[in-house]
Each structure stands twice: as C-alpha cells, then as structure tokens.
Structure 1
C-alpha cells in the first residue's frame, strides 16, 4: 500500500487483555503510517472516550466508537464505510482482551464480534515481558477459542532484547497460523500517563509531538509495516438500517456543549446526530467562561469535574448563569460529570467540598471510591427532553463517585437495567433538566437526538 492508494483498507488491533499496550501500539502505527504519507482513519471498539481523543491528535480526523451491544452491526459497518471512505487505511483499536465484552458467556460488545462483523483481520498485541515460548500457547489459544475470528498476526510488546524476540518468533511460527510482525522493546519514554478512570486525556497534552515522534520511530524499528499493510482488507459493505448523521437539517435550535478539561466525554455520533436533527452546536467552558452563549438548551457530557472542583466552584458567574437557564425551563441534558456539576456539591478525593450549580439537591462524593462499571439499558419511564415514556436506549456507566440519596419527590425518568438483572429508577428530572450517570449512545436510538433538538426548538418558539 502506498500514499497513492485509492481503495480504503481495514485492520483491527486487538489485545490479549487490558494493559498489554493496544493504545500505545495503535498510536504508534497511526503515526508511523501517517509519516509515510497515508491518510489513516481510527476507530475504537467499545464505549471508551479517552482513546479516541488520542487517535484524533495523531490523525487529525475524528475517531468514532464501534460498539456491538449499544449500537449493533449496521451502525458499525455504516460508520466505518462513512468515515473511512476517503482514507487509505482504517485502523480499529479493540477493547480489553479480544473476547471480553458484555459478560462471560457471549461475544456481545467484544473486539472479536466487531472484527467478524467487519470481516477484518486482527493483529494481536501480546505483553511478552514475562514469557517466551509460552507466548505461542497464548496465541494458539486465541486462534482456537474462536476460529471464525481472523487472527492474522501478532505484535509482541515489551520484549527484552533480540534473543527474546527471536524465541517468540520461533515459538509462534512453530505452532500457530498467525505470524509475528513485530517485537517492540520496553521503552518507558512512550508510556501514557494514567489516573482513576484510565489514561489521562488527550486534551491534557500528554501526547506531545516529541512523544509521537518517539512512538513512530519505535514502531518503524520494531514492526514490519509493509507486512502489516499487506494484511489489510477492503472496507465492509455497509448495512442499510443505520441512519446517516451526515444528512443535516437546517439549524432550528442552538445547543451549548460544555467542553473543556472538566467536560470532554462525548460520543462523536451523539453530536453528529444532534446536528442531523437540526441543532447548531456551540461549545463553551464551565471552567473559563463567565457568560453562557445564546442557546436554547445545554448538553453536559462526562469528564473530570472532581479534579477541577475549586475552579468550577469559584466561577460563580457561570454557576448562576446555568441555574438561571434551568429556571427558565430551557432543556438541559447532563450525564455523569454533568450530573456532578449540576448537583449541590462535589466532595473530592481530598475530602474538600466544592459548591456546584445546585439543581440536584444531593452531594456527589469521591470518597470512599466505589467503582460503577457496565453496560446499561434505559427505558424512559416518563416524558423528558430525550423523548416520551416507553423509549429505549443503551449506554454505559463508568464512575468512581457516589451520589447521596436523592429526595423521593424528584421524578425519575429512567428505568435502568443491567445484564445481571438489576433494575432501578434513575434519570433525575428537575423541571426541564435531565440528569443521569449513564452515558447514552444516541445511535442506539436516534430519536433521542431528535427529541432533544425538538425540545430546544420548542423552547425557542415559546420565547
């Protein structure tokens, strides 16, 4: 494949488990291929917000989530076809281990499921620092666990030297169909910084130009890029059921998107579907701005408000402005970090309490740390800015904070259901503001975006 390639190709980067270096290897491949003059388009399997941000820094293009459980097969194939159609190579970064997804029995939400839907070969990243010949047993197990997944090649990460790399190559060649296309030595200088929800975000500047250069050079020395490119296959033929967010209506409502270091977790599809429904999106910062833009409604995504509690609390002009907009009855949708910001207060990891907007009469606490993680199905239990009662959507929860008991007089607009059968009421409806810990993917029910835009447009008509 060369810089003049006219037919887009596709490849999946999977992992033996979380923590083996999938993101580092993916970023290195993206940067090395970009340096060759190729246009590369990245995607991320699963509900992750952070990895796509790093992809975007390298490629200069939006990176989109592909989630089998939340959005289904047609959405995945249509998304890849839509956004990789003008690229030379689409590189899909997997989630966790190749076969990890919704639960321990099904392949739903897994990298393997997505690779099969896309009919794409998988390059398996293996952390080899504590094994040699045993690496072949791991690869063989992955080949045999699901032969329908095209495990085409292996990149051994964290190798200790030339002899170690040679042993792994020989062992895999002797027992496995997949071939070793790379052996990457340990190099702490290319590691990405982490915190309690995973990697630090791209917006915090950790992936510098210098680190990208070191990553690319490491990949160029350690991976046979020509061999990797030879594995790539044509893009899949898209399904017909997925709506196209590229078909935009004329703007009929302005929606403010809270976007800064504290609020940066948004699915690109959500924003695209809002625009397709007729929204003009206007970014603003709860950290830095003191005046809201002229908007008909607000959308707060997730992020790290707990790290910026003092700054958010100190921006009293903005807290007042958001309270005022809510009191006027304009629609607000807030998820996870947005819920935290609209609550009475946030107690941070050091025990300090920071006063927030105060719409939700409860405090969010980071102590003690309680992990809530998993896919969630949401049934609208009452009418809200996202639609009428009975609507169903899918999303994901991932947070370490906990919310003090919310008064029973506040309506719950959601009925949440986890895979394990757990059900509970959530989705706090305060006036025309809807607050939840769940990150909904609007592609699971595009009517959500249409309803929110309609609610904002309706408010504009009333004023």
Structure 2
C-alpha cells in the first residue's frame, strides 16, 4: 500500500562537524515553538548525543535516520511515523553534507537522507574571517550534486551585521537566510569528539532563551518556513507494522545519567515483538523490577562509576538474576557495567558486576569510531549462529580480558574501511555484551529473537 509524506520539513546541514548545527537546530526549534508550532526533530547518522538535545527541547523523542544502518524504507517509515501530526520537521545532518560511509558515494550521508526525504536543505557555513570565498563554497556545495535541494545558506560566527551584509552581497547562488554571531560563553560544552548528553543543567532556560532570541533576531524565520512548506510530497510504501501484542514478557531497560544511549527504533521493535519495557536506574534503584530479561544500553558509566559500584543491593540482585539464567544484553557502557571493574582516566578502579571476566580501562584517546558489520558465529540470546546486522562504535575504553578464550566470543566484526575481522560479542551463559551499538532495522529478527529468549526464561 502506497502512502504520502506531506509534512513541511527542512534539513540543516553544513560543511563539516563542529560548525554549530546542533545549536542552530535547538534555537530554531524554540523559535518555531514560540510561534505555536509542533516541531519533530531528527538526526542523520548514528549519533547518540545530539538527539538528547533535540528530545529535551522538542519534548518528543528525536529519531535517528541513517541510510547505511536502516535502509531507505525504514528511514522513510520512521520519519513518517515520528513526524505524524507535527507542523514541521527539522532534520539535523551529520558531519558535512556529503560525508558518509564512503568517500565515493552518498551512502550513509546527509545528502542521501535529503534525497530520500526530498527535503529542502539549508547549509550552515563557518563565515569567520571570510567574505567572497563564502560564495565560492556555497556554489561548490550546490553544484556538487544538484539532486540535493540546497535552498539557502546560514552564515555562522559572523563578526557583525555588516559582515552578514557583505556576505549577502557576494553573489550567492541561493539566499542567505541570516548570520549568527559568535557567542562562545553560551555554547554547549563538548566531551571527547561530541557534545555532553543534554541535561537541564546544560540546557538551562536562560541558554535556550538566548539561542531562541538569536535565531529570531538574526534569521529570516518566515523564509525558512516558506521553504519547509514547499517540500514535495514523498510517495512511501507503508511498512507493515505489527499489531500491538499483549505483552508476553517484561524487559528491564537501564535508563539514567549513566545509561541512556538507545536507538528509539530498537525499543519500538521490542515492544512490537511482545515486550513490556520496564525502565530502572542502576544508579538510584536498590532492586530490580520484576522482569524476564535486561537491556543495558550505552552511556557514561565511567562518569558515575563510584555511584554504580556503591549500589551494592542492585549489583547483588543483577548477579543473582544472571546466575538464574536470565537473558542480559548489553552495549558499550552496558558492557563496561558487566565487567569486573571500570578504571577511570586517573587510574582509579571501581568494582562492577563481574559477569564478564575483564576490566574496562578508559583511555585519553579514541579507541574505535565508525560503522561495523556483525556476523554471529554461535547461538546467542539474539538468535542462532549466522545472523548479520549493522551497528556503530564510539568508545574510549578497552576491555582487558582475564583469559581471552575463543568460547567467550560470539561475534566477528568487520569495519567498513578494512577487510580484516576481529572477535567480539562477549558471551557468558545467557549474557551477551558488546561495544557495538546495533541498529535492529538492519535485521528485524533480532528483537523478535531477544523477546523469545526472555519468554523462554519466563516459562
């Protein structure tokens, strides 16, 4: 059955990372909400951090849209479902407009999503120390791939209103929709290669009001809205969604300051497969909820290692839960929580669950970043051997195993830039932990299999 996506939409992209896309989308979201509009916000690519900002500001869960992880049909159906009943959709790009899985194609790039969604693109360019060259960069972006509908530009880090006027007179190929001034004291703090996760301490009302006022004062909001309304309807083959089932099992999902990196699509697919999701805090809660399995997502357990290690009652309950044969699936930060201990950058170690025989050691430099493909080599709680799926890694720690025996590993991981594979997927009984953030749109059988594992344990 064919349907149409017919929602006003704008995609905010630019020339690279760190040029202010997230800040612009946050400020623009607030400015549009002040006009009484319901805004849905999306993030291109696999990033788990920027969506926390957009979710907090918009009041709706920010969905990831990633062509390589999800495929076109899942991207379109996720966009259609999450933007339903909204007045406008804002999509934040990833890296530069044409950066993605490969330097030779638009696979996994913002440009790919822009084409699939037929979204008008506004490109953000760092204009500091620049005049006519701004027009050269703008012309290059437009001419590089004319299937990408670049309809306007925004200059960031301008020195003055006169600087913006100078850029506007530089024979731009499409309109300059505004110039945003430098405001270093109002910027969002960065951590590692990305932002901190959004909290109300970071996204204060004063800071949100500041960026709302900046956007209202320096951008032509009316022109941006006009561009959004001119987006063409998209024919979409409606993905066959499962009828909501009566829950057949309960899965505990760790969610607090230490664990909060989850793809919304994964959680939705678990629910569609018959799981009732029960959220709990490994930092605050003293006991486990009554559940049949656990999902321990990514996050920053190293920042809260002391609190996690002192929650003795919960640690004891999870250990007993695991020893009873209950399925436990963990990703990245969740894997670190399963380990014997976490060693922070100061060399201080904090005891953890001790269910995976190794030590998670934080380092000052990035250990892994990028897309991966996973092939399972033995039966796990996610299904029989031979399953394939895609995911993403972003970590600053290594897991140092006590005794790296072959039987501990269940994954073969292939990075996108190399033909070599590595062993991963740490399996102990019905425990499966990995540094990979899997996106289950790449293999919808995985959430179904995990639910089946939890149902078997329940019986």
- Specify the TM-score bucket, using the shorter chain as the normaliser: over 0.9
Q: How does 1:54-453 map to 2 (within 5 A)?
A: 54-171=53-170, 174=171, 176-203=172-199, 205-232=201-228, 233-240=231-238, 242-244=239-241, 247-367=243-363, 369-405=365-401, 407-419=404-416, 420-453=418-451
Cross-structure match for 1:459 = 457
Bigger mean CA offset, 39-48 vs 99-108: 99-108
Matches of 1:236 and 1:207, distance apart in 2: 34
Asked if the contact 1:7/1:88 (under 8 Å) is kept, the reply is no
Asked if structure 1 preserves the Cα contact closer than 8 Å seen for 2:266 and 2:440, the reply is: yes
SS in 2 for 1:269: helix
Q: 1:205 deviation in Å?
A: 2.9
Question: 1:203: how far off?
Answer: 3.1
Q: Secondary structure at the match of 1:112?
A: helix
SS in 1 for 2:235: coil
Query: Aligned partners of 2:133, 2:279: CA distance in 1, in Å?
Result: 51
TM-score (structure 2 length as normaliser): 0.95
Deviations 1:415-445 (A, max 9, x none): 1111122211211111001000000011111
1:95 aligned counterpart, secondary structure: coil
1:375–1:395 Cα contact (<8 Å) kept: yes
User: Post-superposition, which runs of at least 4 consecutive aligned residues in structure 1 deviate over 4 A?
Assistant: none
- Give 1:235 deviation, angstroms: 4.9
Deviation of 1:410 after TM superposition, in Å, equals 3.7
For residue 234 of structure 1, report the CA deviation from its aligned partner: 4.3
SS in 2 for 1:38: coil
Could you list the per-position Cα deviations for residues 309-351 of structure 1 after superposition, in whole angstroms to 9, with x for gaps in the alignment?
A: 1111111211111111110110000000000000111110111
How far has the Cα of 1:363 moved from its partner?
Answer: 0.6
Output the CA distance in 2 between the equivalents of 1:57 and 1:254: 27
For 1:49 and 1:161, the matched residues in 2 are separated by: 34
Higher mean C-alpha displacement, 80-89 vs 188-197 = 188-197
Q: Which structure 2 segments of 5+ residues have no match? A: none
CA distance in 1, matches of 2:404, 2:367: 23
CA distance in 1, matches of 2:114, 2:158: 27
Q: Is the 8 A contact 1:204 1:261 kept in 2?
A: no
Encode CA deviations 1:31-86: one digit per residue, 9 max, x unaligned.
10011001111011000111111111111111100000000111111111111120
TM-score between both structures, scaled by the size of structure 1 = 0.95
The CA distance in 1 between the partners of 2:368 and 2:141, in whole Å, is 29
Taking the aligned partners of 2:155 and 2:305, their CA distance within structure 1 comes to 41
Give ranges in structure 1 of 5+ residues lacking alignment. Answer: 1-5
Count, aligned residues: 451
- Of stretches 376-385 and 194-203 in structure 1, the one that deviates more from structure 2 is 194-203
SS in 2 for 1:147: coil
Matches of 1:404 and 1:368, distance apart in 2:
16
| Inter-CA distance 197–316: structure 2 relative to 1 (3 Å threshold) | farther
User: 1:197–1:345: structure 2 CA closer, same or farther, 3 Å change rule?
Assistant: farther
**Aligned-partner Cα distance in 2 for 1:442–1:243:** 16
Q: For the residues of structure 1 that align with 2:201 and 2:161, how far apart are their CA atoms? A: 33
Residue by residue over 1:233-265, the C-alpha shift from the partner in whole angstroms, topping out at 9 and shown as x without a partner, is: 14523234x4536x3211011000001100010
CA distance in 2, matches of 1:185, 1:401: 37
User: Which is further off, 52-61 or 218-227?
Assistant: 52-61
- Aligned CA-pair RMSD: 1.5
Q: CA deviation at 1:407?
A: 2.0
Q: Deviations over 1:102-137 (max 9, x none)?
A: 132221110001101111111001111121211111
**Matched residues in 2 for 1:402 and 1:204: separation?**
31
Q: Give the match for residue 14 of structure 1.
A: 13
Distance in 1 (CA, whole Å) between partners of 2:233 and 2:29 is 17
In the alignment, the residues of structure 2 paired with residue 205 and residue 268 of structure 1 have an alpha-carbon distance, to the nearest angstrom, of: 24
Q: By how many angstroms is 1:189 displaced?
A: 3.9
User: In the TM superposition, what is the alpha-carbon distance from 1:204 to its structure 2 partner?
Assistant: 5.7
